[in-house]
Structure formats: C-alpha cells, structure tokens
Structure 1
Amino acid sequence: MDTATVARFEASRNRLASLAYRLLGSAADAEDTVQDAFLRWQAADREYVEVPEAWLTKIVTNLAIDRLRSAKARHERTVGAWMPEPLLDGDPMLGPADTVEQRESVTLAVLTLMERLSPVERAVYVLREAFSYSHAEIADILGITEAASQQHAHRARRRIAAARTVAETDQAAARRIVEAFIAAASSGRTEHLVALLTDDATAVSDGFGGLADKLIRHSGPERIAAIVRAGLKPSAAKRSLAGGSPTIYAAVVNASPAMLFTLDDRVIGVAILDLRDNKIAAIHATAAPTRMARLTTAWQQRAHDTPIIESW
C-alpha cells in the first residue's frame, strides 16, 4: 500500500479500536480485530470503496461479532464468569466521551451487562448509543432491516437500564470517593462502609492475582463491607503475595472512580467503584496480570497525583 492509503487507515485506527473495545470488552481482542481489519483494507479493491470510514466500520463490527460468537461457542465468555478489561481514563481506546451515553457505554457495569445481549444486540446498542449511527446505517452495517435494528436497540436499552448512571467522574471526584471509601473501610466500624453502598450493592473479583478458578461474587452492603474491610487490611501474607507493599492511588478507570494498586510503577490491581445515586452500587476488582498490561503502560506515561496510601 502507498503511504496515503496507510495514512487513511491510521486516521481511523483509534475510532475503530474504541468501537471494537466496546463490542468485545478486551483491549487485546480489540487490537487484534483492528489489525485484521487492516489486512482486509490492504487486500481490498479500494477503488470501489466509496466511503472508507463506513467500510472499515462495517468490517470491524462484523469481525467483532464473529469473535463474540466464536467465544460464546467455546464457552470462553460465559455470562457471569467473565470480566471486561479495565482502561485508564484518557486511553484512546475508550473513544468518544462527549455524551452521557458514550461514557456509560464503557463502564464495567454496562460492559458486563452487555454480555447478556446477543452479539447483534450488542453491536446495535454500541453503534447507536456510543457512535450515534442511524438505524438505516446500522441496518446496512449488520445486514438487517431498520425495523430489526430498532427492535434490537429497544431490547438492549431495556436490559442495560439497570446499570445506567449520570454520575460525572473526574480525577478530583474520584479522589474524594476513594478517600471516603478507604477511610470507611479502615475505620473499624462496618456501618461507615455500609453507608456508602446501595442496598442492592454487588462486588465481583477474580481473586488476588487472578488466582481464583472463577469470579468471586458477593451481594448486600453488610456482606460487602465485611469483605472489603478484611481485604484492605494489610498483612505480611498479602504483601508477600503482592511482592512488596503496594502504593494506592485514586484514578478514573472506565469512566468510574477506582483504586489503583501499584508496585515499582506497575499496576498490580484495580478496584473500580460504580456509582448510582451518589452511592457505590458495584465494585469490580481485578488483579489478573493479563488485564494489567495496558493499564500499566498508560499509568507509566502520565504524571500521578499524591497517593492515598504511600505504602500499604
């Protein structure tokens, strides 16, 4: 390919990656999908590609749908047993964040609930809510009718409504929330932590270091408060497992406040706090090394605020 042809693809790369990430919930899979689209672009008879952006969007969307269907067939993404890959605020793969719908579409609560949708419903929801495509455009991309696109969008919105939030989270807000959360967890009084949680709060974790065979789930503010208090209490055994004494920072991850656990400038774990009505409705915690690589790269490329806890 000539330089101009490559440049045309590269101009769309970040948008395509953010589309693929929303569809797949995995940065690694999104990167692979975009690379596959590049190979298709390389092999295409581009003389007949009237609108490259639309052509590439269609290719990436359908490649992602194929991946979702294949993963489901292999039981790699069983509903309730899979967690999205978290991304640090500012990562270009998070894509557009101008509207409430765009920000909500990358929260871990919404990405997790999207696993309950069919691949086509998921694609319609993402294209419509996050990228503002018309139903006519979506129908062309997916090879369905406009009426079918509207029906898929309606079903998807209904199923995802429970995870929707209008909370605005910037770095300052994230720090206030994380500080309050850690203070309550360290107070020795469970009721302080319970007061920060919604009545239907949930927590999910892949186990420290991703060692659990399956996701660990808890529900109810009292149960979660007890687990969090125990989990955030430092011990020699926990430090040994972590490889040292982590530093805890506040951050914005997937449009939500989060605690980042770092060691030697590497992110070794993250706990994301999903908010609803100014309370914590869900906690998503992961320390699996495969989910920390992109977070660590983004973390190392930016300046950091003062840590909440210097040495845990």
Structure 2
Amino acid sequence: MTTLSDETAAAGYRPLLFSIAYGMTGSVGDAEDIVQDAMLGLVKARKAGTAVENVKAYLTTAVTRLGINHLGSARVRRETYVGAWLPEPIVVPAGDPGPAEHAELADSLSMAFLVLLEALSPVERAVFMLREVFGYAYPDVARTVGKSEANCRQIFARARQRIAADSPALDGPAARRAETAALADRFFDAAAGGDIDALMAMLAPDVVMVGDGGGKAAALATPPVGRLQVARLFAGLFRRMQRMGVTVRQAWVNGQPGAVLHDPEQRVIGVMSLEVTDGVVLAVRSVVNPDKLGHLGPVSDLGLRPAHGQN
C-alpha cells in the first residue's frame, strides 16, 4: 500500500528522473511523459502488492529503460528529420535559478553534448550518461540497464571513445557561468548594434551557426562557418528582427548563455544558445522548429527569413 511518505519521496526524485529522461530523449515533452509513466508504474506495482524497498532505484531504472525503448522507436524519425537536429531547449531566465524540475540538468546537458550523444546507441547513451553525467557506480549502472557490470564497463569505454572526454558540457557550471555571462552581454549588444568587428572578436576562427527548423520554420540549409560569415549573418539577422519588432530576452539555455526571441505579440519565435569556451564563442545554435518550443509558451507563426538558403 502506498503511503504519503512514499509519494513524497517519489516526488522528491522528479528533478533527477526528468534529468535522466531528458538526457535520453532531448525532448522536454517526452521526458515529462516518461517520468509520469514511471510514477504510474510505481503506483500500479504497489497496488499489485509488489514490494519496492528502494523507490529511487525503482524509478531510475524505470525511467532509463523507458528512455531506451523510446530511443529505439525515435531513431527512425531522426533519420528522416529535415535539416539539423537540436534538442528541445531548457530555458532559465537570466538571473533566475529556474524551476527545480530543470535545475539539476541545466548545467550538465548542453545542446552540444546532447548532439554528441546522438552518435550512441540507446544502451550506450544510458550507460554513458548514468556513469559520466550522473556519477553512478558501475554496479548501479548495471542494475539500472539490466546488463552485467563487466558489460557496462565495456559499453562505457566504447561510448567514451566515440565522444570527446573533454566535452564543454561537463565543465563546472559555476566557472562557466562566471566566464560567459559578461561575454554574452557584449555579444548580444554587438549584434543589436550591428558591430561586426566586435562580434568577430568574440568568435572562434572556426565558429559555426546551426539552425533547427525541422522543415517547419526558416533555418539555414548550410551552417555558415568562420568569423566573418557568422558575424555578418548574425548582424543581419538582428537588423531584420529589430524591423519586425522582435524582442530578444537573454536566458540560460541548457546551462549556456543564450536568448529567447519573441514576436510583438510576445509569442516565442525561437531560442538561441552560445557555446563558449576559453572566452570565445565556438558555436551558435538556434531552435526555431515550432514543435520544440511549445513548452515555453505560445508559439509564433512569424517565420524569420535568413539571408541565405533555408530548410
């Protein structure tokens, strides 16, 4: 029989469970559904008389395995996805610690890292995340994914070889925020002012700008690479947004500096994030696919037209 203390304990694990589910799927909506299914599964197990001694372990295992199953069916959809794929953004307003549901993951699962995880199989992704991101011991990883400890060590080693061990996603959040907040302020100020020289000074030589429109919103067909090309495109984009009355509100996007774009009716147009390392912007990622923005509020039907081709 489920007690009030059981329900309270289960609810207290939601941030961790959401983090795992989001790391597996890259989708806010799917992560929330997976967590809810795991919670319902716990209730049903209790009602059926199943003894659940460790609620956290039970829920973590349920969420991880649901995530693995989800990725198995989602992989076909990913293969037919139009244009570049980026995860649904987790947005926390600048200066706001954000909702507890998202706080545990924001600084450890950046867009860049989640894109890297796409190269892994569902089980590899689960093992790598549990071990590398959440710090689970191998016996716990093995129990969660239903593999032997030795097998999990092998899976992790293979996954680590496929993903750079020094991914920016795993840097310390406090240090990253301290280094990047001021840079983001200068970057967006320069973009708003059309100062290409200032923008170029903050961009890495091989900076890239990636847009995810999902075939439903205007996005660059070929990601521009290089300081001059990205600076010119960014300055031009901000000029067009200003003419259309678009509001740019800085925010933390998956633990990285960025901004949310709103149309004059305060509907969400898109989300940008800056990948910053060693004081320069390595990449600008933009999500304008309306299917990935609904969790942030009403979505705009205003399509921003890029200077070059579109998906």
The alignment's TM-score, normalised by the length of structure 2, stands at 0.80
Would you say the 8 A contact 1:174–1:252 is kept in 2? no
Give 1:286 shift.
1.6
Would you say the 8 A contact 1:114–1:160 is kept in 2? no
Where in structure 2 are the equivalents of 1:203-282 lying within 5 Å?
203-207=209-213, 210-212=216-218, 217-234=223-240, 239=244, 245-263=245-263, 264-282=265-283
**CA distances 1:95-146 after superposition (whole Å, capped 9, x unpaired):** 436xxxx83x311110111111111111112111222110111011112222
Which residue of structure 1 aligns with residue 201 of structure 2? 195
Which residue of structure 2 aligns with residue 180 of structure 1? 186
Structure 2 residue runs without a partner (length 5+): 93-97, 299-311
Would you say the 8 A contact 1:256–1:272 is kept in 2? yes
Across the aligned residues of Structure 1 and Structure 2, the Cα RMSD in angstroms comes to 3.0
SS in 2 for 1:233: helix
After superposition, the Cα gap between the structure-2 partners of 1:86 and 1:216, relative to the gap in structure 1 and judged at 3 Å, is: farther
Give 1:84 shift.
0.3
SS in 2 for 1:274: strand
After superposition, the Cα gap between the structure-2 partners of 1:280 and 1:266, relative to the gap in structure 1 and judged at 3 Å, is: same
The alignment's TM-score, normalised by the length of structure 1, stands at 0.79
Would you say the 8 A contact 2:83–2:212 is kept in 1? no
Answer with 161-170 or 25-34: which moved more.
161-170
Q: What is the letter of the counterpart of residue 238 of structure 2? A: L
Matched, 1:131 2:134: yes
Give the Cα separation in 2 of the matches to 1:213 and 1:235.
Answer: 15
**CA distances 1:193-227 after superposition (whole Å, capped 9, x unpaired):** 22211122211112499514886522222222222
Give 1:2 shift.
4.5
Give the Cα separation in 1 of the matches to 2:49 and 2:233.
Answer: 56
Give the Cα separation in 2 of the matches to 1:53 and 1:112.
Answer: 28
Matched, 1:119 2:122: yes
Give the Cα separation in 2 of the matches to 1:81 and 1:206.
Answer: 5
Structure 1 residue runs without a partner (length 5+): 240-244, 298-312
Give the Cα separation in 1 of the matches to 2:77 and 2:215.
Answer: 24
Q: What is the letter of the counterpart of residue 122 of structure 1? A: R
Answer with 272-281 or 224-233: which moved more.
224-233
Give 1:189 shift.
5.2
Give the Cα separation in 1 of the matches to 2:51 and 2:233.
Answer: 59
SS in 2 for 1:81: coil
Would you say the 8 A contact 1:207–1:216 is kept in 2? no
Would you say the 8 A contact 2:14–2:101 is kept in 1? no
Give the Cα separation in 2 of the matches to 1:123 and 1:296.
Answer: 30
After superposition, the Cα gap between the structure-2 partners of 1:76 and 1:231, relative to the gap in structure 1 and judged at 3 Å, is: same
Which residue of structure 1 aligns with residue 69 of structure 2? 66
Would you say the 8 A contact 1:197–1:221 is kept in 2? yes
Give the Cα separation in 1 of the matches to 2:56 and 2:155.
Answer: 24
Which residue of structure 2 aligns with residue 286 of structure 1? 287
Would you say the 8 A contact 1:209–1:286 is kept in 2? no
Within the candidate set 160, 163, 166, 2:167 is matched to 163
Give the Cα separation in 2 of the matches to 1:53 and 1:293.
Answer: 30
Would you say the 8 A contact 1:17–1:30 is kept in 2? yes
Which residue of structure 2 aligns with residue 92 of structure 1? 100
Would you say the 8 A contact 2:257–2:273 is kept in 1? yes
Which residue of structure 1 aligns with residue 150 of structure 2? 147
Give the Cα separation in 1 of the matches to 2:40 and 2:179.
Answer: 42
**CA distances 1:149-188 after superposition (whole Å, capped 9, x unpaired):** 2232233334143632637344x76552233213433555
